[in-house]
Each structure stands twice: as structure tokens, then as C-alpha cells.
Amino acid sequence: MSDENGKDVIFEVTEDHLNTGMRGIPVGTCRTSFVDPKKGVHYCGYPVGDLADMDPEDIIFLLYEKRLPNRQESQDFRHELTQRAERLPTGALRVLESLTPGSGHPMDWLSIGIQALGVAETTGDVRADGLNLIARTPELMATIFRLRGGRGAPDVASEPERGMVENFVHLLGAEVEADQMIRALRVFLVLHMDHGGGNLSTFTGKAVASGWASLYASMASAMNALSGPLHGRANQSCLEFVQRIGTDNEKEVEAFVRQELAARRPIYGFGHAVLRAEDPRAAAQFKLGEEICPDDNNFKVIKTLREVAPRVLGENPKISNPNANVDIASGTLLNAVGFHKPEYYTTFFGWARVAGISAQILDERNARGGRGTPIYRPKYIAADPTVRRLE
């Protein structure tokens, strides 16, 4: 079908689309990834499951350059990130040190940390700012974990040449099985880096960036969007909920799910705005779980939940997708490798998304021959169109 100007009509907006959270309405193009409702997210054409075991740094290169690096490019890119990862500017560190340990939510700290980094070192070159932020995030994350936990800033020197995840674990000073932690975090980062253009945090970051706000201000806004329990914080809520279930007995798990639904609470880790099948990122994490924590109690609970919840949620025809999403298993795996505080899990999601969101902001800035995507400004229809005048 074509409109009066001969342009293809790809979507017709009707009254039914109003007040649906813009569900399904195309608003732009995305070069980094697309989400197939049945097959899940593809990064620059590659199904995410095929990339899960690759180096996170190579996937960042992919999202920025739209192709995988060859060996030399991979080394050069890691070197570039290492060079960009100088020590956190003292001003940004002082901002974080001024917060009371244990206060607020770790996502507040991440957003404040990103904003503080922006105060210290915004260049205005979106590519440079994006890569600088990516390079600094491992140290920012470790600093947040340590300061918020009352342990002071990292007490060993940053060694970015180890790799992003490896440096984070090194800076954390983790007295844990570092190999397992590194393995789980590398997969986590790759799986969470991008999810199309319309997910709430990415959309928010791009909307803010479209008014020419800085990369750091846009990213802090994106992190605030990610912090909601229906979006990124579902990974925290999901493990808390799995720990409340505490059994892999099928009948008891089913009773728990029904009780949550009766209390009008979401079944975290299930459902999706776009996907209409189990999320391949969930499948990839179940596979990793079989490798690193097959006997873990939480892992046994989520295996049962993966079978039971879709059946129960499927009884409600209103629910578009009763299947497991990305958040079903990530908390269980993070807990199994030594991260025992669920409130930190969304910061890992945020760390990963810095890559996809910054790459998408860069693409939008480069659009239209360098003029950039115009400022976001969708239309809202007046609920009551009557014009009134004061007498």
C-alpha cells in the first residue's frame, strides 16, 4: 500500500495504538541489532546465541563498526580501550565517595557515576565519549561495588590490559573463584549489550541524545530508565522471587506463581513486549548454568519455573508471551559465581547496555549526512480537545 505521495505505508496507526506504550509502532531504523519475535535479538545480523562465548570487546567492535574484527583489529581495539581507561578522574571519584555506603540503589550510583564522569571529561565527540565511557565502566563498576559496600575505593591499580571483565574482578579484590565469575560475566555482558532500538532504556538514551545532550547525560538517563523492575531491574526481582520459592517441587512452584498472580504481582523473568517465544538469551544462560552450577538450588528452582510459569501464564489470553525472558536465569548465575546481593544485578545489565546504547546514539548522530536524527517529538492527541477560555 502507498500513501498519497507514493511512499510505502509500513504501518497504519489507529486509535487502538494510543496509550499502548507505542507498542509495535515503527519510529526509526536501527543498525546495531534487530529483534525477531520468535528467534530473538541479532547483533548486526548475528543471532546472539552464536556470539555468547566471544570476547565482549569484539562484540563492542561489532556494534560500533557493524562487522566482527579480524585478529589485528581485535588487538588494536583492545589496545585503544586500554589507553582510554586511565584512572577515574578524582572529581568523579569524590562524588561517589560523598555518597553514604549502602544508601540508595546501586543503579542510582551508576547513573550518578556516569553523570559525574561526564562532568569531568565530556569531549562532545560522541564516538570518543562513548568509547571512553565503555573503557572506564569496569573501574566505575568496581568502585561502586566497593564504596557502596563500605570497603573504600579499589586498593589495587587498574589493569585494563587484562580485559574489561578481568579488570573489574581484579579491582573488586574478590575473594572468590575468579575464573567462574569471569566466565559468567563475559557471557552476561555479550547477551545484554543490545536489544533493538525501542527498548525503554535505549529509546530514552536516544531521545535525550536527540536534543544534543551529551553522551554521558543521555547514558545516565538511559540507566535511570533501565532501573525499573519491569525493565532491567527484573533480574534483581527475579532472583529475590526465586529465593522466596525455595523449592523445585513442581506443585509448590505452581502454587507460588498462582499466588503471585492473584496478588497482582508480575512473574519476573517471563513475558516480553516484542518476543513471542522463549528468549534465546534465556536458553544460552540455562546452558551456561548446566556447565557452571548444575546442582545449585536456585538453578533447580528456575528449571522448574521455566516449565511451570509459561503454562500458568498461558492461561491468561491477555499475556502476549508467557515464556522466559533474559532475566529468568541471570541472577541465579551471578549468585552462583559469588555475587550474592541481587540489588547489584541491574548494574551489570547497565554496564552491558552502555555499549549498545552508545553505538546507537552514535549512529543517530551520524544519520542524515551528519545532521543527525531530528529531536524526538512524537504527537500526543488531546484527551479532551475542547478549547476553554477564562472569562
Asked if 229 contacts 265 with a C-beta cutoff of 8 angstroms, the reply is no
> Is residue 199 involved in binding ligand MLT (CB under 6 A)?
yes
Task: Report the DSSP pairing between strands 33-36 and 46-47.
Answer: unpaired
Shortest spacing between CB 368 and ligand NMX, in angstroms: 29
Between 163 and 269, CB nearer to ligand NMX: 269
Contact of residue 365 among ligand MLT, ligand NMX, none (CB under 5-8 Å per partner type): none
Amino acid, res. 310: P
User: Distance (Å, rounded) from C-alpha 141 to C-alpha 137?
Assistant: 6
From 74, 125, 52, 123, select the one nearest 287 (Cα to Cα).
Answer: 52
- Of the candidate residues 327, 332, 333, 361, the single one contacting ligand NMX (CB under 6 A): 327
83, 230, 276, 311: residue in contact with ligand NMX (rule CB under 6 A): 230
- Which of 142, 293, 326, 357 is in the footprint of ligand NMX by CB under 6 A? 326
Options 13-21, 191-199, 357-365, 368-376: segment touching ligand MLT (CB under 6 A): 191-199
Nearest residue (beta carbon) to ligand NMX: 271
**Positions marked catalytic:** 231, 272, 327
Residues 6+ apart with CB under 8 A from 377: none
273 binds ligand MLT, rule: CB under 6 A: yes
Closer residue to ligand NMX in complex, CB, 41/126: 41
Can you read off the three cell numbers belonging to residue 305?
A: 519455573
Residue 98: which of ligand NMX, ligand MLT, none does it interact with, CB under 5 to 8 A by kind? Answer: none
- Please give the C-alpha separations between residue 62 and each of 59, 70, 74, 368, in angstroms, as whole numbers: 5, 11, 10, 22
**Going along the chain, which residue ranges are E strands?**
33-36, 40-43, 46-47
Q: What share of the chain is helix, strand, coil (3-state, %, to 5)?
A: 55, 5, 40
255-284: contacts with ligand NMX (CB under 6 A)? 266-273
Interacting residues with ligand NMX (CB under 6 A): 230-232, 234, 266-273, 313, 318-321, 325-327
Interacting residues with ligand MLT (CB under 6 A): 195-196, 199, 273-274, 325-326
